[in-house]
Each structure stands twice: as structure tokens, then as C-alpha cells.
Structure 1
Amino acid sequence: MPPPLNTPKKPFHIAVCGGGIGGLCTTIGLLHQGISCTLYESAPAFAEIGAGVSIGPNALRALTLLDPGLSAGYEAIATGNADESKRRFWFEFNLGMKEGAWAESGRGLKAPGKEGERIAGVECGDRGQESVHRAHFLDVLVKRVPEGLARFGKRVERVERVGGKMVLGFEDGSSEEADAVIGCDGVKSVTRRILLGEDSEVLNPTFSHKYAYRGLVPMEKAVEAVGDALARNAQQYLGHHGHVLTFPIEKGKTMNVVAFQNKDGDWEDERWVLPMKREDMINDFAGWGESVQKILSLMENPDIWALFDHPPAPTYYKGRLAILGDAAHASTPHQGAGAGQAIEDAYILTHLLGKINCVEDIEDAFRAYDHVRRLRTQKVVVTSREAARLYEFEDETIGTDLDLLKKNLETRYSWIWDEDLLQQLKTAQDMMGLKSNL
């Protein structure tokens, strides 16, 4: 299927602020709906930081509904578990700490089992854990956007309504007009600030009291260290106040590693991504098992990420300004659902805009989008924090009871993965008084 053309059929123009996954998916969706749009990106070129990003069944459905032509590009870069017997698994969960380390980490906390013990295997649809390298996924999306539609070096500073138009002011002193603005400018979003106002109590992202070491390991080295089964299939190693996850990316050529730790108090550095001191990581995971120690020792060019998320916003739109993705509901990564929620947002919002035929109805589309998306996306943020506490044996209800933990892990994600997006769109269309032809 060829990429969508920039051949507008609707009598309005949309400005999209931000060229990450959410912004690109929104732009692609608008083009498919025959809506004129311009994408404004603050960087000099499209770019993503980080390595692996999970795509759950819900995210893949949203991607296909958004643009069926994305499927081939996605399939070319998606990586799942290597073993056919583990193809449907999202992650296998194992105890990662040595028995003696539990008492030291938790004031005499008793180890719930032996290091390496399997807690649960969580199945996820027909395809299980699937991940893509962020940069490669961005390339797939960029190829679906007509050349010349994106404007680079455009960091938005203000958005205001002037007469019948929305006027965007940029850091370089330039300004542009549009009939509506969609903010996809990430966790440090300027459009969120404009929408909610400087005095909003839920304006800024909050530190989740977790940070993560992220890095990559060549698969050959990973296999040599921990064996085929652990290296080539998605694993999580759980311990008190920390957990480590690994999964294959780049068609099995590379193991992606993320090692999480708890932090009391605030994050004091204004930078959220820092070069890592290897001795800090070694100290953080002293007392963990052999598999974890070997994996961490092999990480190439690791860095440390502070994990922030957004408190719940009271609305995702105001007039003809809307926000989506991380600008609306930045989440921690503990359920692998952040990118998927941005893709879902883009599908719903662009299809609602595709159902209207005049500028005056844009706000109705934004209102319906807010109605069907806000509660679901904010629940993802809350339950993601809860998931981290679960993985790290900080949940007071479950504690170190492995049977209760297993039951929770096997059931907690289905509401994310099994969402009926067509029904969600129908609900939004009904709210707008539109006939559904889904």
C-alpha cells in the first residue's frame, strides 16, 4: 500500500507539534483522512532516544487501523521470542536476587524462593512479546510522510487563538497559522503547559522514585553468558527494590536490557538521562544472581534514565488545542504500554476529525476524543506505577507471596491488550451524533 498523499479534502488545516511516535502517527492518520497538516519538530531532524520499545496487541491493531500500509514496515523490524514454545509469552518472570540479599535489602525480609526460580509466564495474544528498535520504528513512520510536510527547528513557545485562527509562535521568532493544533511534544510538553495553564497543579511530570540503567548486549555474547533460552526470549528478573528485564531486538541480533532501581527522595539533576558510572550499577545490583550479574557486565554504552510520569490532567483539549501521547499522559515503562497509547490516541483522534467537514466541528471531535481516551490512558499511568511496586516486592497486599504475585501477573494486562478500538471509536462518534459506518 503506497503512503498517503498530501491531497487535502477537508476545509481545515491542522498543526502537529512534535515528531516522535505520537506526532508521526497523528500526521499519517490525518493524511489518510484527507486533512491538510504540517508537522513541526523542534530538532533539526527526526530522532528517537532509547533502544527497544514494546508493541502490544492493542498497539499493533491501532497501527494497522491507522495505516494498513505500515504493517509491512513493522513486520520487517519487529522481533519476538525466538523459541516457538515461548512465542506467545510477553515475559517470563523469575526471581533475580540471591537468597541472602533479601534480608539486606528489606530489613530482614525473607527470600520468597531461590534465585532463578520461575514465578510466571504471561501470555500476550497470538504473538507474545514484540519489540522494535525506536530509531528503526521511527524510520518506518517517516517513510509514510510526504517529503516537505515536516518543518524542523520549530520549537513551539506559544499557541493562541487570534480571530478564527490558531497562531503558533516558535522559539526562532517565526509564527504559523492553523485551524487547530495537536500537541505531541513529549513528557516536557509546552502545549500541555499552554493548555492547562501555568498555575495548574498537575502541569509538571513527577518523579516516580524509579530510575533505570539501559543498554544493549550483542546476542552472541548474551547467549554465551546465560544460554539460548534466557537470552533469546523475553525475561524479567525480580527482586526487592529492583528488577531487570531483557528482550531481543533487531531480529535477534541484540539483547535490550533495562535494569530498574528504587530511589527515595527527589531526582535532583535537571537532566533525566545521564552517562552511567558502571560502579554505581554494580553496587545497585550487588547480591543479585549470576544471570543478572553477567548480563549487566556485558551492557554496551549504558546510561541512566530517571523515570517520570504525569499526574492526571482534567482535560486533553481546550478549544481547538488538543494534546496526545506523552504530552497528555506520560507513563513509566513498566507495562510496555506508553507507545501503544500514543498510537491509539492518534487512531481515535484522526478518525474523528475525518468525520467532520467544517472548522466549527473540530472542538466537538476534540471533546469526544477526550471523553473516550482520558480515563483509559490515565489508568495506564497509575497501573504502570503499581506494576513496578509489584515487580519489586513493594506492594503491601501481595508482599512476597509468589502465588498471589503469579495470579496478578497473569491477569493484570488483559484490559490493555484486549481493548476494542472500533467500539471506542463508535462511542466517540455517537457522542458527536455521527452515524457509525465501522
Structure 2
Amino acid sequence: MASLGSKHNFDVAVVGGGFAGLCLAIGLIKHNIPVTVYESAHRFGEIGAGVSLGSSAQRAMIGIDPRIAQGFENVATYNDWDSMKDVYFTFRFGEGPDAGKEFAHLRHEGRSGGVHRAHFLDELIKLVPEGVAKFGKRVVDVQQLPDGKVNLRFKDGTEATHTCVVGSDGIHSKIREYILGEDDPAAQAVFTGKYCHRGLIPMDKAIEAIGEERAVNSQFYLGHDSHMLSLPINKGNIFNVVAFSSCKTWDHEKWVVPSETKDIHEDFKDFGEPVQTIINMMEHTDIWALFNHLPARTYVKSNATIIGDAAHATTPHQGSGAGMAIEDSYVLSELMGRVQEPRDIQKAFEAYEEIRKGRTLNLVETSRQAGMIWEMQDPGTAGEAEKIAANASERWKWIWDEDLESEIKRGLALMGKA
């Protein structure tokens, strides 16, 4: 129910309490819109370790609530060397006679910061008032009622009804399935042919093993059918490693499976130093299969929509999935802030889809392409360093340089609120 102090005659259910869901909730609260966040787990939590957030995502944080941006800065880590402050990643050969040698610096004027997912989530949680979130609420069914409201049924047997629902429930989204229909091929994620090993190593140990330059500044090591990236997180105290490889199919029921040391050594057997030394420091790594979504024909069904991974789950090969989710939250919260009556909610959702769908689906496709380039599988670059460097220098510009204020203005115009 809408609160007595609200100028908005509706309320919002946000399903999923990750970056996207919490950022959206904070934005809606700023506009005095009643919101309830339903989280399936018994507490907030993020899967994975390090994540990079670039300039557009950081501008979105400021737009939603400057306290989000401050929370990000509280936990963000940048390249340590002054000469590398504007470098997103240094690209190096991973294999062959030039193994370890750099061949390109990808520069980013706005700076990208690396954070531990759990640490940034903790900063977001601080901004969500007590009572907004409900835990242990896994959605099992969604129904639109005759009056247009949305009824959510949870695994624990309880139900809740809200004027509208926003699914930020990740790659396994039940809200996406409701919007598209469970028989739609795009309703479920598909394997991308890539998987990764993840590792967190104490920074002092990494510096001793591979030298300060490569440990405290972000690096890419490229090779055939595998590649590795590393970046400092946790205020420079942790050396975060993600080692990617390829396979045609994923035959395991689970997406994360235990790994033996020999597995990662086999994947990177043709790589030289410092990759071999880094691998030797990675203990007890699991294998994470990488899935993404096929393009959704729509993000909207009446008073329901999806954001973040629920809308456009992508591979991490451009490091921008989390940033796009925060952008979604900013744009949608601003559009919803101009809605006063329930009848206008679908207009806001459709405007959001119109301005965000193309950009976000493009991220999924270009990220898939990037994974092929980094592993010498792309015919256009053919594993040639100069071509890869040229491609990388242009690849992120459209991601980092987006004018989100113009997106919002266009959305408001579509709603008739300009």
C-alpha cells in the first residue's frame, strides 16, 4: 500500500537484493515511492569477488544518490602507480616468446574502480531503511490480478500483492520467465562456451612472486583459448585473479563445480610467466561456467519489468554487467519518480525499455565477441596484437561515455512528462 506521506498512489515490489535491486530501491525511496525488496536468501549477499565499475556506472551512482558513490569510493581500489591511474588494463602476451610483455595500455579518463562485491553491497545496505527488505522470499509464481496489480507467491507459502514489480532477481529470474513465458527460448540462460577459475591472493604474496608493477595494477594476459585478468581490490590488500578458458558444452547440472589444481594447469599449459606463477598461488579454485541470456523480445509485461542480470545477463569479458545494472536502476528510478497514478506505470516501464533495451543487449553481444578476441578466436583480429590493441582502444568508449541524463529526458518525453 502507498504510504500516507507519499505523493505516489502506488507501491513497488523489487524482487532481488543485489546491486541493481538495492540501487533501484534507494532511488525509489529518494522519490518517496513505497518499495519492498524481496530477497530469496536469508541475508543480502553477492556471488563472486572483484568487479570493476567504470565512469558511466559511477555517474549513475551519483544520480541515484550521492551516498552510493561515496560508498563506492569507500571500498574502491584503483591502479596503485600514479603513472597507471588512468589505465583500465595493461594488455600483455600470455604465451609464446613474448609471454609477459605488454603490447597495449587501455586508458580510461574517468577511471574504473575495482571493488569486492560483498564490500560494495555492504555500503548499499547501509542506505536501505530497516523494514524495506524481506528475506527468505523466493518467488515461485507471479500473477496479474484483475485490477492490474501483481501477486507474488513465495516458496515459503506466503503471498504479497503490489501495484507493480521489478525483477532484479538475476540470471535465473522468475520475473523474466513470467514476462517472456517459460517456453520462450530467451527465458533461460544459455552456456557461452566459456568458464573461469577465480582466485583471491594476499597482495604482499603477489608482489613478492610477480613484482609490484604487475601485482598492484590491472593486467590482461591473452592467449589461445584462454586468458587471465588480474586487478587489485580491497584497498590494494587483495590480488584478484580470474582465469578464463573455453569448452564447447557444459555437462554439469551446477554452474559452479569443484576444481583440481591440475585443471587450471592444463588450461594454461602453454602460457609462460608470470601466469604460471600466478596459477601456482591460486588455491582451492572452483570452476564457474559462464552463461548469458539470448535477447529478450521485451522487458515489460503490463506492470512488470526487469533490470540488470534479469534483463540482460552477460559474460564478464568487458567488465560492465554490474555497471549496466546500476545504470538501469538510475534511469528507471527517475522515470518512476514522475509517475503519480498506477495507470502510468506501464508507460514508465515501456519508456525504460525503449531507451535501455538496445544498449544493454548490445553489451551482451559485444561481451561475447570480446571473449573470443581475448582468446584469439575472432577472425577479425586473428590474434594479432596491433589489431587487438586497436579494437580494445575503441571497445569501451560507448560503454563509458553514455549520456544518462539524455536517456532520462528521452524517457520522460516518451511518457509525456517532458
TM-score interval (norm. to shorter): over 0.9
For residue 43 of structure 2, what is the aligned residue in structure 1? 45
2:218, 2:271 → 1: CA distance? Answer: 19
TM-score, with length taken from structure 1: 0.93
One-letter code aligned to 2:89: F
Describe the superposition over 1:5-45 as per-residue Cα deviations: whole angstroms up to 9, x where unpaired.
99633110100100111111111111011100100011011
Backbone CA RMSD of aligned residues: 1.3
The count of corresponding residues between Structure 1 and Structure 2 is: 415
| Residue pair 1:206, 1:309 contacting (<8 A) in 2 also | yes
For residue 311 of structure 2, what is the aligned residue in structure 1? 328
**TM superposition shift of 1:362:** 0.2
2:289, 2:7 → 1: CA distance? Answer: 44
For residue 322 of structure 2, what is the aligned residue in structure 1? 339
2:280, 2:238 → 1: CA distance? Answer: 15
For residue 366 of structure 1, what is the aligned residue in structure 2? 349
For residue 247 of structure 2, what is the aligned residue in structure 1? 263
One-letter code aligned to 2:13: A
**TM superposition shift of 1:191:** 0.8
1:342, 1:8 → 2: CA distance? Answer: 26
Q: Is 1:65 the counterpart of 2:66 in the alignment?
A: no
* Alignment partner of 1:93 out of 91, 94, 110: 91
Describe the superposition over 1:136-191 as per-residue Cα deviations: whole angstroms up to 9, x where unpaired.
01100000000111111110111111122211111111111100000011001111
**TM superposition shift of 1:385:** 0.5
1:421, 1:7 → 2: CA distance? Answer: 29
2:178, 2:154 → 1: CA distance? Answer: 13
SS of equivalent residue, structure 1 residue 428: helix
Q: Is 1:220 the counterpart of 2:204 in the alignment?
A: yes
Q: Is 1:206 the counterpart of 2:187 in the alignment?
A: no
Q: Could you list the runs of 5+ residues in structure 1 that have no partner in the other structure? A: 100-113
1:46, 1:428 → 2: CA distance? Answer: 31
For residue 271 of structure 2, what is the aligned residue in structure 1? 288
1:169, 1:7 → 2: CA distance? Answer: 28
Tell me the percent identity: 46
SS of equivalent residue, structure 2 residue 186: coil
For residue 431 of structure 1, what is the aligned residue in structure 2? 414
SS of equivalent residue, structure 1 residue 202: helix
One-letter code aligned to 2:245: Q
For residue 145 of structure 2, what is the aligned residue in structure 1? 162
**TM superposition shift of 1:124:** 1.2
| Residue pair 1:216, 1:301 contacting (<8 A) in 2 also | no
2:110, 2:347 → 1: CA distance? Answer: 37
| Residue pair 1:8, 1:31 contacting (<8 A) in 2 also | no
SS of equivalent residue, structure 2 residue 66: coil
One-letter code aligned to 2:154: F
SS of equivalent residue, structure 1 residue 312: coil
One-letter code aligned to 1:390: I
| Residue pair 1:6, 1:31 contacting (<8 A) in 2 also | no
TM-score, with length taken from structure 2: 0.97
2:89, 2:311 → 1: CA distance? Answer: 28
For residue 80 of structure 2, what is the aligned residue in structure 1? 82
| Residue pair 2:261, 2:283 contacting (<8 A) in 1 also | no
For residue 155 of structure 2, what is the aligned residue in structure 1? 171
One-letter code aligned to 1:363: Q
Note closer, same or farther for the CA distance 1:42–1:204 as it changes in structure 2 (3 Å cut): same
SS of equivalent residue, structure 1 residue 252: coil
1:303, 1:216 → 2: CA distance? Answer: 12
Describe the superposition over 1:179-234 as per-residue Cα deviations: whole angstroms up to 9, x where unpaired.
00000110011111111002212111110100000011100110011101000000
1:126, 1:150 → 2: CA distance? Answer: 33
Structure 1 runs of 4+ with >2 Å offset: 5-9
2:359, 2:47 → 1: CA distance? Answer: 26
1:197, 1:72 → 2: CA distance? Answer: 39
* Alignment partner of 2:340 out of 334, 357, 371: 357
* Alignment partner of 2:261 out of 246, 261, 278: 278
| Residue pair 1:97, 1:289 contacting (<8 A) in 2 also | yes
